[in-house]
Structure 1
Amino acid sequence: MLAAARIQQDKLNLKESALYYLDKTGQLASIKKKCIEIQQSNEKQVQIYSFLINIDIQELCQIDAELANMVTCKPSDAYTLFQEVCFTTSHTLGVIPKSIKPTQIHCNLMLKGLPTLPSFILRPRDYFASKFASRFYQFVGVVCSMTSPFKYTRCAKYRCPISECYGSDENTYVRLHTAGAKETQTVRNDFHCFYCGTLLVEDVNGRIIGERLIVKMVCKDAFYEASCPQYHQSITVYIRDDLIPSVFLGGCFNVVGIPTIENSGSKMSLAFEANNILLIEEPANALMPKNIPEIINQLYTDRVSSPWSFSSSMAYLFAPDIAPHGTFHKLKLHLLLSLMQTTQCEKILDVLAVGKDTHILHRLMMHAASLVNQQVTHASSTPIFGHIQKDPQTGTCIIEAGSVVLAHHGVCLLGCLDTWKKDAKEKLRAATDNRVITLTVPRTVDAGPLQIHTLPLQSTLWAYASPDVRKMKADLFVAQDIDDNSKKIPEGFSMVVMCDNNEQTWDEFKEASLIHQALIGAMNATQDQPHQVISNQDFRQFITLASQQPAELTKAAQQLIKGYFVGSRRVRSSGVRGTPFPPAALKTLTSMAAAHAKLCLRKDVTENDATLAIMLYEESITARFGYSTLNVHPCPHFRDSNISNYLGSENDLRMQQFQEQLRRFCANHDPNFSIHSPED
C-alpha cells in the first residue's frame, strides 16, 4: 500500500510540474484559447482536440529533472502524462464539453532539441547494429531524396457493435498515430472490445487524414567523408505535415525523433519518425583580426601597403605540393576568389579550367574544395542534377537529389567535361544561367498532367576540360577557333581559366617544374621539397573567416566595371570578325571584385578590386577569343626569377598603368564615365 501510494504521489508531482511548465511558458493559455475557438466554431462532433506543446528540455530540467528525463527517455509515458494534464485542466476550466474523453485529447510534444550528450546522439555504427532504445535520439544528416507528400491516417475511431455495451458509446475507442507506427498499425480490423470482447467495427466517417513525406538522409560525417552519398546507408525519415515546408533537398538538418527498424523482405533499414527537424546553418561570425592565423596575419601586415600583393601572395603559396610555385598561378587565384563566395549569398562564382594537364587541374580543385565544410565530388553512380522515380511502397514519386543539389551552399566538383554528352552540357548551361534545376516527372511515374519540379541551384560548380590544341593560334589579336568544350560550356560558368600559354617556353617551364617536383618526391629528398609556408589548416581557417565578411561595392568600383562592360560590348561586337562578350559579365565582374575585397580583408569593394577583376576577366576573354584592345596578354604561369613582376612593387606599377589605361578606355566608350575617380 505504501509503495502504491508513493507511486501515486510521484505521478501527481510530475503532473504538477507539467502544469507549472505549461503555465510558465504561456502554453496553458494557448490551449485554453484553442478549446474556446473550437467550441465557438461551426464544426460539429469535434472528435480530437489536438495541442502542439513545445518543450525546451533545458528549461524543463530546471523545473523538474525527473519529468525532463521521462520526456526524453520514456516518450510514451510522457505523452500519457501531458494528455491527462491537458484533459483535467480543460475540464476544470470548462472549455471542453463533459462528454469528451481522455482518448480524444492529442498532445504533440515537440522537442526543440536534446542534450548534447553522447547517449542522445544516434551514431551510424549504432543504427546499423540496431543498438538503440525506443526513445528520443538526434542525428545530423543531409537530405538526399524525398517523396512527394502522401496521405496517412492520423486518427481512426472504432465502436462496439453491441448497442448495450459501454464500448458502443461514441469516441470510446479512438486510435491515434504514434511515432514509428505504420498505417497497418493505426488502422486494423482485429481490435476487440475491452468490456465484452466483441470485435470492434471502424467508423470510417471518423477518420482524420494528414499528410507526410519520406526523406532519405545520410549522416553528415559519413556523407562528406565519402564525397558522395551512399544511399544503401541512408536513414528513412518520416516528416509530418507541419514540418514539410522546412525540408529541402541537399539541406543539412538536425533531426530529433524515435528510431525504429523496418523489415522489407530480407532487408532491414532504419526508420526515424521526426519529432522536430532543425536546419543547420554555418555560423556567421564577424571577422576578427585576432582569429586570422598568425602566419597569414604577418603576410597581410607585410603586404598591406599594396592593394594587390596580398591576394597574389596567397595564390603563390597555395598548394605547392600539387603545382610548384608560379605554375597555375591564375587558376589558384580564381579558386581562392571562388571560395570567398561559397557562403549563403547570390554572388556565386563557378570555375571552369581549360588545360592539357587535366590531372593537375583535378588535384588542384580537389585540394581547394577540401578547404570548405561542404563539398561533393560528382560520381557516375549519382545523377548530376536529379532523378525522379516511383516509390514502390507509397506509389508517389521520389525526387533524388543530384550532386549539384547535394553540395548546398558548398562546392560541387563536376570533374572533366570532355566525356559529357551534349544533352548534359545543355542542362548544365541552362541550370547555371538561371540558377535553377528543372526536373520533369516521367510518364512511367505519373501518367497524369505534366509535372515539373524546380530546385534552386545554390552550390558553386567547378569543372575542367581539355582544349583543342590543333586549333589554337599564336596571334592573340585574331579570334580563336575553339572546340565544343570551350565554346558552349563556358557560357554557363562565371570564370573560365585558360591554363595553357601560347608561348612554348612557358609551357616548357611549367612541365620542367612539375617533373622536377615529381622526381624530388620519388627520391624522398624531403630537404628539397617545396616548403609549405601556410598550412592547409591555416588556409581553411582564413577562408572560413574571410568569406563571411561583408563587402560593399563603392561608386568608383561600380563605375569602372560598368564602363568596361559597355566598352567591351561595343568594341568586341564590331569589326569583320566580332567576338562574343557575355551579357552576364557585369554580374560576374561585380562578384569577382567583391570576392577580391574579401580575400584582401577589405569591407569596401574599391576601384583596385574592380581593376584586378577586370584584368582577370580580360585575360580569360583574350585567351579564348583573342583581340584585346587593352593590350592584355594572358599569363597562367610565371617563373620564380620574375616573382617581383607578379607579387611586388613592379606588379603594383603594372596594375596602376593598366588602371589608367582602363579609365581612358571606359571614358571613350561610356559617356557617363568620369575619368577622375572619387577615390583619387
Structure 2
Amino acid sequence: MDSLLSLKEAIVIYLDRSGGLRKLIEDCNVFKGAQQMGAVYRFSFDVSPSDMLELDAPLGDCILHDPLKAVSLFQSVCYLSIKTLSLIDHIETESQVNVVLKPTHLPPFPDYCLDLSEFPRGYGPMRPFALEGLVIAMTRVTKYTQGARFLCSEETCPCSRGFHHIRVHAPGATESATVRSDFTCFLCSSPLKEDVKSRVLGDKQLVELMHVKAVNILGVHDAASLRYQSVTLFLRDELCNSMRIGHLYRVVGIPAHVHQWPNVTWSVEACSIQPWTPKCSCLVSNNFQNLQAASACSPWRFAAIVANSFGSSVVPPGLYNTLKLGLLLSLVQTEDNPDSPNHLDVLALTSDSLIIDRYSFIKCTYPF
C-alpha cells in the first residue's frame, strides 16, 4: 500500500511539473458542460520516461516495463483529481476514466529496440519498444469501440444501474474483447447487456510497416533465403493520418498478439510517431559524376541514359522510358510538402498495374 501511494504521489508531481494537470483540466472543461452523462471519459498524456526515471525510479520502471499497471495508477490519480477539483459533475466511478499513456521516447539501449527483420516473434512482455520502418500500405480511417457500458440483466442487482461494468480498449485487443454478449456480472454472475447509447467510438487506421532494407530486394541480387515480412501497425484516434506511404518513421509502440480464431496475428499498437531520416551519405557517386561529365554535351543525354537504366531489374531496358524520366524528375523534387504547387504528379496508363506499383514503390523509397 505504501509503495502504491508513493507511486501515485510521484504521478501527481510529474503531472504538475509537465503540465499534465493543466491538460487534464482543459480536457475536463469539454465534458463539464455536456448535458448527457458520458460512460467513458478518455484522457491522453505524453510521458517522458527519462523525466520519470529522474523523478522517481520505480515509477519510471513501471512506465517502461508494466504499462498496464502504470495506466491503472494514472487512472486512479486522474479520478481523484477530477472528484477533488469537481472537474466533471456526472462522473461516478474510477472505471469511467480511460487513460492513454504515450511514451515520447525510450532509452537508447538494445533491450528497448525492436528490429523488424528479426524472427521469431514469440510471446514477450507487453511493454513499449522502439522500431523504425518504411510505410508500404495503409487503410482508410475506420471506427472502433473506445469504451462501452454494461448493465446487469438482474434488476435487483446493484450493477443493473450505474457504471460498475465499463470496458475500454486495451493494446492488442480485438473489437470482440471490448463488446460482446457473453460477459457476466462480477457480483451475481448474471448475463450483462450493453447500454448501446453509452458506447464511445474512436478512429482507427492500419499501417503496414516494413524494414527499410526490404527495398534492396528490388535490385539485382543473388538468390538467397532472406525474406522480409511487413508488420501491422495500429494507429488510433489522434495518431490517424500521421503517416504517409513511402516515408520512414520511428515508432514507439506496444507489441501484442491479436487473436482472431483460428489465426493469431502479431501487431504493434503505436504510442508515438516521429519522422525518421536514416544516417547515410548524401554524396553523389563517382560513377554518376563521370557519367554526367561525359554526357554534358547534350542537355538530354544524361537524363535519357539514367532513365533507360532506372528500374532495369523490373522492366527491360527501352520500355517505359517516359515514365522512368518522370519518376526521376519527381525524385529531384526537394519540397517536403506534397501539396505544394511545385509537386510533380505522374500519370501512368497501362494494362499491367503491377509494373506501375513497383515504380511507385521505387519512387517513394528514394533508391539514389
* TM-score for both structures, normalised by structure 2: 0.78
TM-aligned CA distance change 1:168 to 1:232, over 3 Å: farther
Is 1:280 matched with 2:189?
no
Is 1:50 matched with 2:46?
no
Deviations 1:373-423 (A, max 9, x none): xxxx6864xxxxxxxxxxxxxxxxxxxxxxxxxxxxxxxxxx65423499x
Deviations 1:133-170 (A, max 9, x none): 21111110100111111111111111002222111122
**Max radius of gyration: which structure?**
1
Query: Helix, strand or coil for the counterpart of 2:43?
Result: strand
Structure 1: gaps (5+ residues): 1-7, 293-313, 335-349, 366-376, 381-414, 441-453, 463-680
Partner of 1:161: 153
How far apart in 2 are the matches of 1:265 and 1:191?
Answer: 19
8 Å contact 2:247–2:364 — kept in the other structure? no
Aligned with residue 223 of structure 1, among 214, 222, 230: 214
How far apart in 2 are the matches of 1:251 and 1:84?
Answer: 39
Partner of 1:186: 178
The aligned runs of 1:637-652 (5 Å cut-off) are none
Is 1:435 matched with 2:335?
no
* Cα RMSD for the two superposed structures: 3.9
Aligned with residue 352 of structure 1, among 299, 304, 309: 304
Partner of 2:355: none
8 Å contact 1:261–1:270 — kept in the other structure? yes
1:132 CA displacement: 2.8
TM-aligned CA distance change 1:155 to 1:267, over 3 Å: closer
1:123 CA displacement: 2.2
8 Å contact 2:39–2:148 — kept in the other structure? no
How far apart in 2 are the matches of 1:60 and 1:124?
Answer: 28
Query: Helix, strand or coil for the counterpart of 2:251?
Result: strand
8 Å contact 2:48–2:105 — kept in the other structure? yes
Partner of 1:545: none
Query: Helix, strand or coil for the counterpart of 1:353?
Result: helix
The aligned runs of 1:52-67 (5 Å cut-off) are 52-67=44-59
Query: Helix, strand or coil for the counterpart of 2:4?
Result: helix
Deviations 1:594-616 (A, max 9, x none): xxxxxxxxxxxxxxxxxxxxxxx
Give identity over the alignment, percent. 24
TM-aligned CA distance change 1:332 to 1:429, over 3 Å: closer
TM-aligned CA distance change 1:434 to 1:109, over 3 Å: closer
TM-aligned CA distance change 1:263 to 1:195, over 3 Å: closer
2:83 partner amino acid: H
Relative CO higher for 1 or 2, CA cutoff 8 Å, sep ≥ 6? 2
Aligned with residue 293 of structure 2, among 330, 335, 344: 330
Deviations 1:422-445 (A, max 9, x none): 9x67986997896125699xxxxx
Partner of 1:200: 192
TM-aligned CA distance change 1:437 to 1:258, over 3 Å: farther
8 Å contact 1:150–1:211 — kept in the other structure? yes
1:84 CA displacement: 0.2
8 Å contact 2:126–2:255 — kept in the other structure? yes
How far apart in 1 are the matches of 2:170 and 2:82?
Answer: 23
How far apart in 2 are the matches of 1:272 and 1:233?
Answer: 14
1:227 CA displacement: 4.8
The aligned runs of 1:363-378 (5 Å cut-off) are none
Partner of 1:27: 20
2:94 partner amino acid: P
TM-aligned CA distance change 1:74 to 1:426, over 3 Å: same
Structure 2: gaps (5+ residues): 220-225, 332-341, 350-359
8 Å contact 1:139–1:219 — kept in the other structure? no
TM-aligned CA distance change 1:231 to 1:84, over 3 Å: farther
8 Å contact 1:351–1:461 — kept in the other structure? no
Partner of 2:82: 90
How far apart in 2 are the matches of 1:120 and 1:111?
Answer: 12
Query: Helix, strand or coil for the counterpart of 2:203?
Result: strand
Query: Helix, strand or coil for the counterpart of 1:106?
Result: strand
Partner of 1:173: 165
How far apart in 2 are the matches of 1:135 and 1:332?
Answer: 56
Deviations 1:311-342 (A, max 9, x none): xxx98xx24xxx9x97x4635889xxxxxxxx
2:235 partner amino acid: I
1:110 CA displacement: 1.0
Deviations 1:293-327 (A, max 9, x none): xxxxxxxxxxxxxxxxxxxxx98xx24xxx9x97x
8 Å contact 2:255–2:268 — kept in the other structure? yes
Q: Please state which structure has a larger fraction of its residues in helix.
A: 1
TM-aligned CA distance change 1:20 to 1:425, over 3 Å: closer
Query: Helix, strand or coil for the counterpart of 1:245?
Result: coil
Partner of 1:136: 128
TM-aligned CA distance change 1:202 to 1:98, over 3 Å: closer
8 Å contact 1:145–1:217 — kept in the other structure? yes
TM-aligned CA distance change 1:378 to 1:247, over 3 Å: farther
How far apart in 2 are the matches of 1:124 and 1:159?
Answer: 43
8 Å contact 2:173–2:258 — kept in the other structure? no
TM-aligned CA distance change 1:332 to 1:142, over 3 Å: farther
1:254 CA displacement: 1.0
TM-aligned CA distance change 1:47 to 1:378, over 3 Å: farther
Deviations 1:602-631 (A, max 9, x none): xxxxxxxxxxxxxxxxxxxxxxxxxxxxxx
TM-aligned CA distance change 1:175 to 1:69, over 3 Å: same
2:104 partner amino acid: K
How far apart in 1 are the matches of 2:128 and 2:119?
Answer: 13
